Structure 1
Amino acid sequence: MDNIVVALFALTYLGMAAGRIPGLKMDRTGIALVAAVVVVAIGVLPREKLADAVHFPTLLLLAGLMVLSARFGAAGIYERVTIWIARRTEKPIQLLGLTVFVGGGLSAVLVNDIVVFAMTPLLCVSVASRGLDARPYLFGLAAASNAGSAATLIGNPHNIIIGQVGNLDFWDYAIFAALPTGVALVVVFLCILLVWRKSLSKDVRPVELELPPLNVAETAFCVVALALLLVLFATPLPREISALLVAGGLMLSRKIPSRRLLDEIDAPLLILFASLFVVNAAFATTGIPQMAATRLADTGISISSILILPFVSLVASNTIGNVPAVMILLEAWPILDGKTLTALAIFSTLAGNLLLVGSLVNIIVAERALVHGVRLTFADHARAGIPITLSTMLFAGLWLWCWGYSGF
């Protein structure tokens, strides 16, 4: 039976790396779900153990944050912000700067996948209307959303997992991650500026973009809700309960149907998480993760080493993806201390900028841009992505080392 589980585990994560099965219309979620169903059906993981395998607080927190972000979208905030960026700039460099820092800032407090999903089409249209090459701005948005999301434990899905499973303090993490995240955003801006300097030296075509009317009440409601959520994160109330309370309050509207907000919940992403939790739990029953951890420890190699963890994060995030990578590491090393989990959250996030397939954000931006006629290639992404990733991870490693983290 163990051989079957190992084979299913390997095939599942090969699917995570490839993103599909050749000849079939199956994506990562479909692959993980089928694998999870099989391990339960053959009795490797009994039905009564499913509740223990799936980390429901993580799923509930992510769902609550999706409702919050959906309300921001329904209030027209993403649309206004994107068009405001385009209207406020007279030079391409200014447009890039605002795209990077506003996109990164939003991704720190709202799930970055949803931020880029909303902003990418608007950015394509507004940039094209000014006669500019949209690619550097889209790469800037993707890289900044990845980097900015490292600032908090709610910025991206894998940080949510790390924060929930490791029970990390929200504000302690945010304070610690503020400097490396801020530096990362500056690096994103400078690298994009250097790599795409020819495209960014073109003259801007003057155009009058119509700014949608500001709904003061709706905007204020969303901002207050976000502020309340951040305050609740400083209380003993579990983060998932805080998020669900705020999400429930945001559904109290006479204009926006609750169904519209619930439709914005990315159910496939939640199913992917739940399925991977099940597959990983089944793999743990073989004893292989524990054996691997023990043998590495016997050879003097520590996964939490400041030299090993960045390398593992970089390779795993750009092969199977940062979410599956984090879930495997947490399954194999379930007793990682708070410092190591903090380092993992930062490194696994910054590693997502290396290649186009390194994070879901990159893929979302590429797919949404293609609909609007803008093709983002693997090579174009790597030109800026490689120096951005290596330099930001190096600084983050030095920052962790300065604060006494070595992991040895």
Structure 2
Amino acid sequence: MDLTLTIFVLVYVAMGVGHLPFFRLDRTGAAMVGAMLLIALGQIAPQDAWAAIDYRTIGLLFGLMVISAAFGVAGFYDFAARKVGALDVGPKTLLAVIIGFSGIFSALLTNDVVAVAMTPIFCQICLARRLNPLPFLLGFCFAANVGSSATLIGSPQNMIAAEALNLSFNGFLRVAALPSLIGLPVVWLVLVAVYRGRWTLATPQKTATATALPASEDLDRVEALKAGLVTLAVLVAFVATDRPHMLVALLGASFLLVSRSVESEKLIRRVDGDLLLLLIGLFIVNAAVAATGLPQQLLSALGDIGLDLNQPLSMLVVMSVLSNIVGNNPAVMLVEPFIRNAAHPEALGAAIALGTGFSSNAVIFGSLAGIIVAEQGGRRGIVVGFAEFARAGVPVALATLLLAAGWIVWLG
């Protein structure tokens, strides 16, 4: 038991810090090494390790990643970002458009994929238009986290929670979409207040990339249309049928991978294999720890102080805190074994989605979208520091979490 807990603690230290201290081992590496050690040292049987991996979540996420990748290969993300950035509108209106665009696309496609594809373009557009890029990048990031909370397919943690709670696409949408939609104008209002009078660049940029956009990718309209039709078909199947989500997503991905004009390797290259391996490793690590009985003791201790994970409002609080310590996906995976057969699955699913999605805007490392925006901005001379992020992110997170708490109470 002591060895299992030691490995577990080290893995989740890496989840929170971003790497294992004193080693060049990132989150994915830590999860995989932890899982392999637990198997190799006999702390979990190989067959139990395989059984612990939720293939439904992994399959669903892989299928949706391929579908999202098809839009990238077709040049759609580049095309759409440039169209938004070229609108002849004022800064506040442009911010509203970017927030709405980010929120909607993050709800329909995996939010991390959208962030990776569009952040570089928005950086260049802001610099070319002599706009202060910070409110626009933060708005894009915050909206991605808030908007992705609306649907079962918006983020990996939503998929994990939905599979554990056996939620339908419609059921998830019914309890999570409205607060996510209302949260988008909240993001806009906070950013308008925080960046009042700071919409333009104070000093000329010295780099060539600050005044000129890089060459755009050509939009392959046929492939973009194909990806759009497959996405529409997948969404219709989610809404209108009771077919397993994983099978629907994999079927859609299969249609896109078999093509006469686009090599399958181009699509697969854009799949986030690191995230899939991270989840696989954490499934095994968490299963090994669950077998020790310690999580059940901790759950009982939480109940003694009034935090019952089967109560949606308590879950909202736990997820809001935990996701900013270890990350969204690890946080949900920690509580996943204890929410099966819940009395109020839809309300509990909403609490998990809104708690992880809304709270992750407080700090840069609260979400992968925040990390992506900070790293991509830094490569282009745009400093998105911890304090600057939190200056807007903390009020956004608090305001939207208050909205979520009111919604959860209303759901009863």
Q: The TM-score by the shorter chain falls in which range?
A: over 0.9
**1:295 Cα shift?**
4.1
Do the aligned partners of residues 122 and 207 (structure 1) sit closer, same or farther apart at CA in structure 2, a change above 3 Å counting? Answer: closer
Query: How big is each residue's C-alpha offset from its partner over 1:241-275, in whole Å with a ceiling of 9 and x where there is no partner?
Result: 10010001012322210011011111111000000
Do the aligned partners of residues 381 and 299 (structure 1) sit closer, same or farther apart at CA in structure 2, a change above 3 Å counting? Answer: closer
Partner of 2:396: 388
Partner of 1:137: 136
Query: How big is each residue's C-alpha offset from its partner over 1:39-85, in whole Å with a ceiling of 9 and x where there is no partner?
Result: 11111111111221110110111111111111001111111111001
Partner of 1:286: 292
Kindly provide the amino acid, as one letter, of the partner of residue 233 in structure 1.
F
Matched-pair contact (CA < 8 Å) for 2:11–2:20: no
Q: 1:355 aligns with which of 337, 342, 363?
A: 363
> Unaligned regions of 5+ residues in structure 2, if any?
205-210
Kindly provide the amino acid, as one letter, of the partner of residue 401 in structure 1.
V
Kindly provide the amino acid, as one letter, of the partner of residue 343 in structure 1.
A
Query: How big is each residue's C-alpha offset from its partner over 1:271-291, in whole Å with a ceiling of 9 and x where there is no partner?
Result: 000000000000011101122
Deviates more, 1:367-376 or 1:377-386: 367-376
Matched-pair contact (CA < 8 Å) for 1:290–1:333: no
Matched-pair contact (CA < 8 Å) for 1:293–1:333: no
The two structures, once aligned, show a CA RMSD in angstroms of 2.0
**What TM-score, normalized to structure 2?**
0.93
SS of alignment partner, residue 337 of structure 2: helix
**1:365 Cα shift?**
1.3
Matches of 1:394 and 1:359, distance apart in 2 = 19
SS of alignment partner, residue 89 of structure 1: coil
Please say if 1:326 is aligned against 2:369.
no
Give the paired residue count.
402
Matches of 1:210 and 1:14, distance apart in 2 = 41
Query: How big is each residue's C-alpha offset from its partner over 1:366-399, in whole Å with a ceiling of 9 and x where there is no partner?
Result: 1111112211101011111111111111111111
Matches within 5 A, 1:3-402: 3-200=2-199, 214-234=219-239, 235-297=241-303, 301-336=307-342, 337-402=345-410
**1:30 Cα shift?**
0.5
SS of alignment partner, residue 26 of structure 1: coil
Partner of 1:403: 411
Partner of 2:207: none
Matched-pair contact (CA < 8 Å) for 2:69–2:270: yes
Matched-pair contact (CA < 8 Å) for 1:159–1:345: yes
Matches of 1:209 and 1:85, distance apart in 2 = 16
**What TM-score, normalized to structure 1?**
0.94
Matches of 1:299 and 1:191, distance apart in 2 = 34
Matches of 1:248 and 1:321, distance apart in 2 = 31
SS of alignment partner, residue 375 of structure 1: coil
**1:300 Cα shift?**
5.0
Matches of 1:212 and 1:263, distance apart in 2 = 17
Matched-pair contact (CA < 8 Å) for 2:116–2:372: yes
Matched-pair contact (CA < 8 Å) for 1:130–1:207: no
Matches of 1:352 and 1:300, distance apart in 2 = 24
Query: How big is each residue's C-alpha offset from its partner over 1:109-165, in whole Å with a ceiling of 9 and x where there is no partner?
Result: 000000000000011111111111111111111000000000101111111111122
**1:299 Cα shift?**
5.9
Query: How big is each residue's C-alpha offset from its partner over 1:12-55, in whole Å with a ceiling of 9 and x where there is no partner?
Result: 11111111123322110011111101111111111111221110
**1:167 Cα shift?**
1.4
Deviates more, 1:139-148 or 1:283-292: 283-292
Matches of 2:326 and 2:305, distance apart in 1 = 26
Matches of 2:88 and 2:276, distance apart in 1 = 38
Do the aligned partners of residues 372 and 87 (structure 1) sit closer, same or farther apart at CA in structure 2, a change above 3 Å counting? Answer: same
Do the aligned partners of residues 291 and 133 (structure 1) sit closer, same or farther apart at CA in structure 2, a change above 3 Å counting? Answer: same
Query: How big is each residue's C-alpha offset from its partner over 1:86-131, in whole Å with a ceiling of 9 and x where there is no partner?
Result: 1113311122111111011100000000000000001111111111
Query: How big is each residue's C-alpha offset from its partner over 1:308-341, in whole Å with a ceiling of 9 and x where there is no partner?
Result: 3232112111111111111001134444333212
**Amino-acid identity (%):** 36
Matched-pair contact (CA < 8 Å) for 2:175–2:346: no
Matches of 2:304 and 2:95, distance apart in 1 = 49
Do the aligned partners of residues 213 and 35 (structure 1) sit closer, same or farther apart at CA in structure 2, a change above 3 Å counting? Answer: closer
SS of alignment partner, residue 154 of structure 1: coil
Matches of 1:299 and 1:176, distance apart in 2 = 27
